[in-house]
Amino acid sequence: MHYTLHQLEIFFKISQLKSITKAAEELNLTQPAVSIQLKKFQDQFPLPLTEYLGRKIHITEFGKEIADTAENILEQVASISYKSAAYEGKVAGKLHISVVSTGKYVMPYFLSDFMKKYPGIDLTMNVTNKSEVVKSIEENTVDFAMVSVLPSHLNISRIELMRNELFLLGKDNPSKSGNHLTTKEFKKLKLIYREKGSATRQAMESFVDQQKFTNHKKIELVSNEAVKQAVIAGLGYSIMPIIGIKNELKNKEVQIIPIKNLPISTNWNLIWLSSKKQSPAAIALSNYVKENKMEIIKKHFSWMEDRSLLP
């Protein structure tokens, strides 16, 4: 057999994404180039690694075993590079971060200059809902997580990043007075919720319950972007973090609806298990965020203090 590391990388990426097109995009290759390398790799085995059902590619059981082996080989090769960099006094290694979906508007700004400073670090950032983020910390599969609500059942360390405020948003203000929405007016709104497991969903449900509102008209969507687009389209109203609607507020596509007991204020936090032995890459990120967070907030998030965006 004469397969190459390049072929191993391509096959492993295909097995992850279940798509030649997506693998090509992620590896910055053309789709024909990926298909050719997959065929050359496949031709070296007596059993098929993939099969097609309709137009969709599937990984065979034998292919899954080869993919697992390929992953181990690629990790060992990467570790050689990391060890080499360490002997040269450079910080290198893998860094895994899990971020709640609205945190995608925040975390990249804390990582951008850090990744430029440490080019030997390979970053994986998974964006999902709160329950999955907490699960990744609980199972120790990530170095850090970014959350706005701290998991009380875990012994964690944290770096407080910045304020997170949630407002009631709509395409227009349904208040007859054009001012603060009354309880009676709120009860008539069709509310748009995030999916269960989302911290934004929990905050919204908590607000509705605490105010003793009985609102039965609701829509449920599975991402912050989907909720935002639904609000812009006029499908309903939602309680959302202001961090994700900067341009929409400035362009007057949505507006903040004043109502008693809003906004809800929390804080974004970078957290990790207190018992976790941090890698050099993780220690470097902790130190970088502590030293630079105020400058990053001032540079990228000062717009949140712009009162002209608020009612």
- What integer pLDDT is reported at residue 309 of this predicted model? 65
Token pair for 238: 């939602």
| Residues 176 and 205 occupy one common structural domain | yes
Q: Which of 171, 203, 209, 206 is nearest to 190 (CA)?
A: 171
Question: What CATH code is carried by the domain that includes residue 207?
Answer: 3.40.190.10
Where among 86, 117, 150 does a domain terminate? 86
Question: What CATH code is carried by the domain that includes residue 51?
Answer: 1.10.10.10
| Residues 285 and 246 occupy one common structural domain | no
> Which position has the token pair 């948003």?
169
- Cis preceding linkage at 280, omega within 30: no
Phi, psi of 261 (to 5 degrees): 75, 15
| Residues 171 and 304 occupy one common structural domain | no
Number of residues that this document lists for the chain: 311
Q: Which of 294, 242, 231, 300 is nearest to 266 (CA)?
A: 242
| Residues 104 and 70 occupy one common structural domain | no
- What integer pLDDT is reported at residue 305 of this predicted model? 76
| Residues 289 and 155 occupy one common structural domain | yes
Q: Are strands 191-193 and 218-220 parallel, antiparallel or unpaired?
A: parallel
- What integer pLDDT is reported at residue 89 of this predicted model? 62
- What integer pLDDT is reported at residue 224 of this predicted model? 85
Phi, psi of 181 (to 5 degrees): -75, 135
- What integer pLDDT is reported at residue 178 of this predicted model? 63
Tens-place pLDDT, residues 30-73: 999 999 999 999 999 999 999 988 888 999 999 999 999 998 88
Where among 86, 111, 132 does a domain terminate? 86
| Residues 230 and 100 occupy one common structural domain | no
| Residues 188 and 241 occupy one common structural domain | yes
Residue 179 belongs to domain spanning: 164-265
Tens-place pLDDT, residues 208-255: 887 777 666 688 898 888 999 999 999 999 999 999 888 898 898 999
End-to-end CA distance of the chain: 68
The DSSP code for 214 is -
| Residues 57 and 175 occupy one common structural domain | no
C-alpha span between 13 and 71 (Å, rounded): 9
With a CB cutoff of 8 Å and minimum separation 6, the contacts of 245 are 169, 228, 254
- What integer pLDDT is reported at residue 303 of this predicted model? 85
| Residues 82 and 222 occupy one common structural domain | no
| Residues 62 and 109 occupy one common structural domain | no
Query: Is 270 in a helix, a strand, or coil?
Result: strand
Q: Which of 298, 301, 293 is nearest to 269 (CA)?
A: 293
C-alpha span between 128 and 245 (Å, rounded): 18
> Which position has the token pair 């430029």?
116
Residues lower than pLDDT 70 in the chain: 1, 81-90, 178, 214-217, 307-311
Where among 69, 86, 103 does a domain terminate? 86
Report how many domains make up the chain. Answer: 3
Query: Is 53 in a helix, a strand, or coil?
Result: strand
C-alpha span between 135 and 87 (Å, rounded): 34
- What integer pLDDT is reported at residue 202 of this predicted model? 87
| Residues 260 and 169 occupy one common structural domain | yes
| Residues 232 and 148 occupy one common structural domain | no
- What integer pLDDT is reported at residue 37 of this predicted model? 93
